[in-house]
Structure 1
Amino acid sequence: MIKPVSLLLLAAVLCGSCGSRTGRTAATSCDEPSARPSEYVSTLVGTHSDFTLSTGNTYPAVALPWGMNFWTPQTGEMGSRWAYTYGAHTIRGLKQTHQPSPWINDYGQFSIMPVRGRDKVDEESRQSWFSHQSEEARPYYYSVYLADHDIKAEIAPTERAAIMRFTFPESDESGVVIDAFDRGSYIRVMHDKRTVVGYTTRNSGDVPDNFKNWFIVRFDRKIRDFQIYDGTKPVEGEQLVGEHALVRVGFETRRGEQVTVRAASSFISQMQAVQNLEELGKDDFETVKAKAQAHWDEVLGRIEVEGGTTDQYRTFYSCLYRSTLFPRKFYEIDKNGNILHYSPYNGEVLPGYMYTDTGFWDTFRSLFPLLNLVYPSVNAEIQAGLANAYRESGFLPEWASPGHRGCMVGNNSASVVSDAILKGVTPEEDIATLYEAMLAGRRKVHPTVSSTGRLGHEYYNTLGYIPYDVGINENVARTLEYAYDDWCIAQVAKKLGKTNDAAMLEKASQNYKNLFDPETRLMRGRNADGTFQTPFSPYKWGDAFTEGNAWHYTWSVFHDVEGLIDLMGGRKGFTRMLDSVFVVPPVYDDSYYGFRIHEITEMQVADMGNYAHGNQPAQHMIYLYDYAGQPRKAQWWVREVMDRLYSAKPDGYCGDEDNGQTSAWYVFSALGFYPVCPGADEYAVGSPLFRKAVIHLENGNTIEIDAPENSSENRYVGKMAIDGKVSERPFLSYSTLLEGAKVRFEMEPEK
């Protein structure tokens, strides 16, 4: 599955084009990868972002795939949504983070910061200037030189723990600050004078009252002295339960002397945090780092690509890295090997799996289909966790972090759950519970989190749409997504032999037609009396739509593209409308928001008309050309988006990366196909980026994708053969690929 490490490293030396410290890219003519997959990844991609313009809104996560705890250098102030930004000049700590997005913010966070100086304690005084030239950001390793302290800081992860190595100058004022953050925290220096324990309660969303993240920090030598603080106020003693607990521990060091720190945490208890620390065992820093890299190589190496440029390899594997971070594990393993979790829904410690930190409005589209194809064993655990979420709260989550969060619209847990059941991924014992959960979600809304369940279900289930004039915002978006979600549930009903349910749900899945305006040939808000909203502007963002306009949301009929084609008067009219998205200028109406949201700016600067790839509703749109008999237009635009809107640089995305969704779009598209309709057996074909790709499936089969004539000019598919048989349609099936397949693309230039 993975090429021998020694050969890969030798190839890297011979090629000499890979492995820059900060992930800076440089084009190369090498046709074969010359490094291990993890070495192509820069975790800085997408970090050059802010409130007004997102180029990813990411942070450099030092973690294992789907790990419970991530670590990141912290440049922002405590509580800042932007924990790390590429343009910042100072670092305040190495922060344990669980943040899925700046818009959702963080929970269970604390930080560790090596310092020189007894007065360098609070985040302002302890921060240090740094440079990207002395920073290395990899999935399995992060290092940085803290100039103001003359200290090199390094970190390597396990799933729930991490090891840090601090190289100090000669000083009798060397130290480490452990900051449990404000809003209620606890610190205690243990009697062994090597160990600090505590908890943090800082969170940004709804959690049970007993929520805590218990942590343990253990040094490889005795602490010489320490001082505990409540904020900036020193306090006496060895422990503190206060508003903002932190401690500075001191050492006397020689120049070049290293202090090793081991840290772990638990949402269950202090004793479980100690248990989680055992993930490190007796391994030294280099061993932990090597094991973490090997783990990343195994996960990223499930897909091997060649016949591209180094820039393309870096972009591809950086995107695959982002696609394997979320949702994160929220379960732990006790001393007897039992799987258990603290429930972010009811506050109990319960057996079984739990995952969190994902928003299905984003990730149902391509992230979860990628898991089902390449990492189904991971999604099997996620699905078991979703069944537990329903048992513990009465709802499937739509945005979880760590419990139900109020964000976005739709009922797209139905898509995520259905696709896994239909692909044979879901554990058999959870299927009945999850089917019950999907049906229950059609008829209710969470009492305190209106984005969970179905807001407006009373109207949708009677009128067949949510009216524009009844006080429910984003009503067209909700209706379109509910209709698709009903189609997804219907497919599961058919599989389970629930014929009456299937018939009802199939009928409901046609509700999208109720909002199609034949005059404009766009989706449009409709009042309770059946009249369409007036005035109507197809350029108005928000209002009846979610972070988009009618040009974007009209295409959200994933499950019945042929039906949408018919509404638009056939393939010719459909294609003309689809072309128009790219032809009309990037004008907009932001009156609903009262200001220009960052998604609007990202559409404008992309220079693709009104196409807004930086936000999810438009991301499948290009592939709809396949359904209209115009696959070459899909191939043109897919390659344009990959070439122009993605890179492995700090500004490498064209909008929010969103927990793997925007990255998974690139991964699928680079392979040459895309899941337009999760829940279906079908992928639409685009334009493969590499001359060769191999996907190693968990069932032991492989998918081989060959496009030997591929180049920047040869972006068009002249012919596609599957296992030697020429296909007349620009589609692939999941079931065919799952059995192992050889897909050959004959690429050609425009004719």
Structure 2
Amino acid sequence: MKNLILLFFSALAWGCCETPKYEISLRPSEYVTTLVGTQSDYSLSTGNTYPAVALPWGMNFWTPQTGKMGDGWAYTYGSHTIRGLKQTHQPSPWINDYGQFSIMPVRGKDKVDENARQSWFSHQSETAKPYYYSVYLADHDVVAEMAPTDRAAVLRFTFPESDESGVVIDAFDRGSSVKVLDEHTVAGYTTRNSGGVPDNFRNWFVIRFDKPFSGFRVFNGKNELKGFEAEGEHALAAVYFTTRRGEQVTARVASSFISGEQALRNLETEVGDADFETVKARAQERWDEVLGRIEVSGGTEEQYRTFYSCLYRSTLFPRKFYEIDAKGNPVHYSPYNGEVLPGYMYTDTGFWDTFRCLFPLLNLVYPSVNAEIQAGLANTYRESGFLPEWASPGHRGCMVGNNSASVVADAILKGVTPAEDVATLYEAMLAGRDKVHPTVSSTGRLGHEYYNTLGYVPYNVGINENAARTLEYAYDDWCIAQTAKMLGKDEDAKRLEKASQNYKNLFDP
């Protein structure tokens, strides 16, 4: 696809026309700051973001963690200490996280739990890019760096001279395991989640260090255990090294929602023996490719930074929730039925938030990505009987409407959807008009029996946001009607066009 070239000269779009203009001179990824929107907390949002170190639409993100374990505000700009470098899958603080664990370099064998190991840091010693993060952890005199792949990452720690240099692996509470496999490797799993998962949900991880351990310890909560393994409510491991000043220790880490074996496969295929700088360079190249699909000119450097920082945010979610098997085929753990199945799966998006802007952008600029997303939506319907409205990773109860219909219809009408999935997705849109999920009322259509007979959802039947639901359902019926027309389903189109006029029932003459 040729680059989409946008020329912005509007004073409304770019501010005063007398502002000095600059030619774009940096790689697109260099204009991005991942810290935009992080000066937030529960009481006041200025974005509710965190500095995600990731690849576009990557399965795993990494972030410095300033908040306590389980806090939806994992990183807040006003904080002064870092507790760990966390693998995260959080789409928003309100939905919170799942499958998370953290890695934290330390100096001192008493620095294990999240309060003891936290370290003061300064933003002046912090570099936050999509493809790279670096911070100086003052209490440990350690520089920590991260560079990502889709399902793995490389972390590099520059230690002081010490015989108590170490790394704490925290698999978090609510059920987890860690095991020291050999003098270079730690593996484990975490089950921590915020809902939307089957009973057999696990995120398996493996961490391989390039320096042998001089010692290690394993814990369940605050209780140190004998042996190589800890499994229980809250598993942690601490591995130790004797280091000279300035010595660098590299940790290669990957995870999988399928199995421990698949986690190792992800590590070997996405990282292998590649060093830190190689992984970092590959990640930046990928971001330049994705962000560079849109070229801007005629603005100031600050405006370029705003534009590309926002485009970075627009290409994080929905995330890949599929992996590549030994034969090179896409395969996924289903967050809907707990089975491992072939094909694509994406998650961590709410269509109430994204159907107006994000998905039309994907169709326009990144159609091959949305083709995979649509194939994943077809799989969601096959595996759960519903299209998702808010997925993280499975169906979550949040917001109103049936806007999966508009997302699916738009992709079909623009020729993005894989041909083999069109019939399934059309069936899914129609099916969603007449039912609601038995346990997640935001999935399907709550109040469909009223809407389909009266032409609106009444205010006095115990269903909140009844006017909003009526408006959303009417719009979504119009979207399905357009798809029916294109597919030659004339009777469906006529019926749905009539239903799309239900918005008029909310007007009081």
Structure-1-length-normalised TM-score? 0.65
- Tell me if 1:260 matches 2:250: yes
Question: Could you say which residue in structure 1 is the equivalent of 2:217?
Answer: 227
Alignment of 1:22-101 (within 5 A): 29-101=20-92
Unaligned runs of 5+ in 1: 4-26, 519-751
Q: Percent identity?
A: 81
8 Å CA contact 1:356–1:400 kept in 2: the answer is yes
Question: Could you say which residue in structure 2 is the equivalent of 1:392?
Answer: 383
Q: Report the residue type matching 2:235 in the other structure.
A: A
Describe the superposition over 1:437-479 as per-residue Cα deviations: whole angstroms up to 9, x where unpaired.
0000000000000000000000000110000111100000000
8 Å CA contact 2:87–2:101 kept in 1: the answer is yes
CA distance in 1, matches of 2:424, 2:66: 43
- Tell me if 1:318 matches 2:315: no
Question: Could you say which residue in structure 2 is the equivalent of 1:443?
Answer: 434
CA RMSD of aligned residues (A): 1.2
Describe the superposition over 1:697-743 as per-residue Cα deviations: whole angstroms up to 9, x where unpaired.
xxxxxxxxxxxxxxxxxxxxxxxxxxxxxxxxxxxxxxxxxxxxxxx
Question: Could you say which residue in structure 2 is the equivalent of 1:360?
Answer: 351
Unaligned runs of 5+ in 2: 4-17
SS at match of 1:442: helix
SS at match of 1:361: helix
CA distance in 1, matches of 2:231, 2:104: 21
- Tell me if 1:269 matches 2:287: no
Describe the superposition over 1:554-604 as per-residue Cα deviations: whole angstroms up to 9, x where unpaired.
xxxxxxxxxxxxxxxxxxxxxxxxxxxxxxxxxxxxxxxxxxxxxxxxxxx
Describe the superposition over 1:56-85 as per-residue Cα deviations: whole angstroms up to 9, x where unpaired.
100000000000000000000000010000
Q: Report the residue type matching 1:367 in the other structure.
A: L
Describe the superposition over 1:403-454 as per-residue Cα deviations: whole angstroms up to 9, x where unpaired.
0000000000000000000000000000000000000000000000000000
8 Å CA contact 2:204–2:259 kept in 1: the answer is yes
Question: Could you say which residue in structure 1 is the equivalent of 2:284?
Answer: 293
SS at match of 2:410: helix
- Tell me if 1:478 matches 2:460: no
Q: Report the residue type matching 2:223 in the other structure.
A: K
8 Å CA contact 1:361–1:408 kept in 2: the answer is yes
User: 1:221 Cα deviation (Å)?
Assistant: 1.2
- Tell me if 1:135 matches 2:126: yes
Question: Could you say which residue in structure 2 is the equivalent of 1:202?
Answer: 192
Alignment of 1:487-526 (within 5 A): 487-518=478-509
- Structure with greater Cα Rg: 1
Q: Report the residue type matching 2:172 in the other structure.
A: F
CA distance in 2, matches of 1:78, 1:31: 44
User: 1:53 Cα deviation (Å)?
Assistant: 1.7
CA distance in 2, matches of 1:517, 1:136: 56
Describe the superposition over 1:599-635 as per-residue Cα deviations: whole angstroms up to 9, x where unpaired.
xxxxxxxxxxxxxxxxxxxxxxxxxxxxxxxxxxxxx
SS at match of 2:401: coil
CA distance in 1, matches of 2:24, 2:381: 44
How many pairs are equivalent? Answer: 494
- Tell me if 1:110 matches 2:95: no
Question: Could you say which residue in structure 2 is the equivalent of 1:243?
Answer: 233
Describe the superposition over 1:216-254 as per-residue Cα deviations: whole angstroms up to 9, x where unpaired.
000001111000011111011101211100001000001
8 Å CA contact 2:196–2:391 kept in 1: the answer is no
CA distance in 1, matches of 2:437, 2:346: 20
8 Å CA contact 1:328–1:355 kept in 2: the answer is yes
- Tell me if 1:183 matches 2:202: no
2:116 aligned residue (115, 125, 138): 125
CA distance in 2, matches of 1:52, 1:203: 23
User: 1:29 Cα deviation (Å)?
Assistant: 3.2
1:407 aligned residue (389, 398, 402): 398
Question: Could you say which residue in structure 1 is the equivalent of 2:419?
Answer: 428
CA distance in 1, matches of 2:121, 2:2: 35
CA distance in 2, matches of 1:373, 1:328: 18
CA distance in 2, matches of 1:451, 1:2: 39
8 Å CA contact 1:161–1:280 kept in 2: the answer is yes
CA distance in 2, matches of 1:448, 1:413: 18
CA distance in 1, matches of 2:205, 2:188: 5
2:160 aligned residue (169, 178, 182): 169
- Tell me if 1:371 matches 2:367: no
Higher strand share: 2
User: 1:516 Cα deviation (Å)?
Assistant: 1.7
8 Å CA contact 1:69–1:160 kept in 2: the answer is yes
- Tell me if 1:348 matches 2:348: no
Describe the superposition over 1:489-538 as per-residue Cα deviations: whole angstroms up to 9, x where unpaired.
000000011001000000000000100234xxxxxxxxxxxxxxxxxxxx
CA distance in 2, matches of 1:486, 1:224: 64
8 Å CA contact 1:161–1:277 kept in 2: the answer is yes
8 Å CA contact 1:43–1:60 kept in 2: the answer is yes
Structure-2-length-normalised TM-score? 0.96
CA distance in 2, matches of 1:31, 1:310: 6
SS at match of 1:430: helix
8 Å CA contact 2:143–2:157 kept in 1: the answer is yes
